[in-house]
Structure 1
Amino acid sequence: MAWEPILWLIFLVINIALISLVIYQIVCLTDLEADYMNPYESSSRINSVVLKEYILHGAFCILFLITGHWFISLLTFLPTYYNVRKFLSRQHLIDVTEVFRFIQSEKKIRIFKLGFYLVLFVLVLVSLVLSSINALVDEDDAIDFDSLQLPSFI
């Protein structure tokens, strides 16, 4: 049984969960900015998912490190360091009384995280497809993507 496609599928599910958590936070901040939601409700909703996002992202980084995917592990290390730094300085939760002061910067941070997770989504999806193709092909006939020749017209 090929374990590599299963690992990439787990990475894909974790990445989709991270994307959905960040989109939820952006929607809550946008609703607060448009005055559809009061600050208490918005900050309590965001604060309930922030720690889940941090833990899931830390697990994401550690799984890449354990499975030997060094490049993507290094890519995910910087946001993990940022999350740990914010958590240890107790700045990871949104304060109800000052939410309107920092709403634009909080939205920008989350939009940057969303872009980062979308780039990771593409990397994980491509890796899932390539590992699935390699797993389906017989061991003797495995595709070596490094030695593929481009057509002459390119």
Structure 2
Amino acid sequence: MIFSDPFLFALSLIDTGAILFLQIYFIIILTDLESDYLNAQECCSKLNFWITPKLMAHTVLLTLLLFHGHWLLAFVNIPLAGWLIRELFHIPRGNLGVFDPAEIHNGGRLRKHLRDCMIYLGYYLLFFFVYLYCMIVSLLEGDPINRHEEDMIVH
């Protein structure tokens, strides 16, 4: 183990919280594009900048969970990491990135991107609370109140 479990889950909370804020930013930018407050070039350049940091944050979290032996949490995180990697490396030829200004208004792509962002937001929100629960449980391990030594508890 590299870190203690409470510290690992605190890092997981920070990482997941940062990704949550990033997903909210994605949703705000995409809805601004949908209502014509932004042009497609500006929107796509802002969003494409954050694709790689989001993937790196998720894979760092996955790697830490694997190193610490939290197999169930790592197993549940693997499909999303695979999906993010697939999304990044299967960009059609000629597109500028995952979000392409020439393609974003064609064929309902904007709606698809908004739907994907909402799914990611729900996923990370769920796991934020899972990591919070895991942190609380790991902090309470070991009986921190010393209940077996009644004379040491101050009333």
TM-score higher than 0.5 = yes
Specify the alignment match of 1:47 in structure 2.
48
Query: Does the 8 Å CA contact 1:5/1:135 hold for their aligned counterparts?
Result: no
Q: Could you report, residue by residue, the CA deviation over 1:92-142 in whole angstroms, capped at 9, with x for unpaired residues?
A: 52111111120000110111011000110110001111111225617996x
The 3-state SS of whatever aligns with 1:35 is: coil
Q: Which moved more, 1:83-92 or 1:9-18?
A: 83-92
AA matched with 1:61? L
AA matched with 2:62? C
Specify the alignment match of 2:138 in structure 1.
131
TM-score after normalising by structure 2 = 0.83
Matched, 1:100 2:101: no
Give the number of equivalent residue pairs.
140
Q: Could you report, residue by residue, the CA deviation over 1:32-83 in whole angstroms, capped at 9, with x for unpaired residues?
A: 0011111111111101111110111111111111111111101110011111
AA matched with 1:75? V
Change (3 A) 1:136 1:24: farther
Change (3 A) 1:134 1:34: same
AA matched with 2:122? G
Unaligned runs of 5+ in 2: 149-155
TM-score after normalising by structure 1 = 0.84
Moved over 6 A (4+): 138-141
Percent identity for Structure 1 against Structure 2: 25
Deviation at 1:3, TM superposition (A): 1.7
Across the aligned residues of Structure 1 and Structure 2, the Cα RMSD in angstroms comes to: 2.0
Unaligned runs of 5+ in 1: 142-154
Deviation at 1:87, TM superposition (A): 1.9
